[in-house]
Amino acid sequence: MELDKSKLGLVQIFYGNGKGKTTSALGTALRASGNGYSVHLVQFMKNGASSLKEDQIPGEIKALSKFPTFTYKRFGLGDWYKRGKNDEAHKLNVKETYDYLLNSVNNNNYDIIIADEILYAVQLGLLEEEKVIDLIKNKPKNKELILTGSHIPLLNIFQLADLVTEIKKIKHPYDSGIIARKGLEY
């Protein structure tokens, strides 16, 4: 079956304070990969990304990696961002990730690019909002772009998107002291 790539080109955003932003993007990746589209995931600010061993790679990425049309690259410093403590190191890492993302968006081998947690980088002041706006405005016409992250609305970015979904927390097990469980939350 021939893929109709002329229907690609939208910008999708998943943001909010609820669980499921990355999961929603990866659900789209699963559907797209299963239908033959090439998907490339670029993850911003992933804790310990540079030192992951095979048994530390998240299950959803392991599962998607079984598709020959799915690829990924994770960026991170191995520690969480703490304002005033490690700003410069995280800004440099986010810049490296953004530069890699730009190359990926312009790579003809990918139909769909997921920029996971890029909106958190903007929310935290590690990436200028204007860079994301430029990314959206200058992406190739038939390249689908999915952005995730941020607990707050980024209205200037949202105006340029075709789909904006707010993932809203109503209740979360963490609020009752239940920590994230391997295989379910990570």
pLDDT band at 78 (very low <50, low <70, confident <90, very high): confident
Q: Is the pTM higher than 0.75?
A: yes
Q: CB 110: neighbour CB atoms within 10 A?
A: 21
pLDDT of residue 58 exceeding 90: no
Residue 173 CA, distance from chain mean position: 24
Q: Average pLDDT, stretch 172-182?
A: 88
Q: Which pLDDT does position 48 carry in this prediction?
A: 55
pLDDT of residue 39 exceeding 90: yes
CATH topology for 5-176? Rossmann fold (3.40.50)
Q: Which pLDDT does position 85 carry in this prediction?
A: 85
Q: What is the dihedral of CA 54, 55, 57, 59, to 10 degrees?
A: 130
Q: How far is CA 165 from CA 118, 146, 179, in A?
A: 15, 11, 26
Q: Which pLDDT does position 64 carry in this prediction?
A: 94
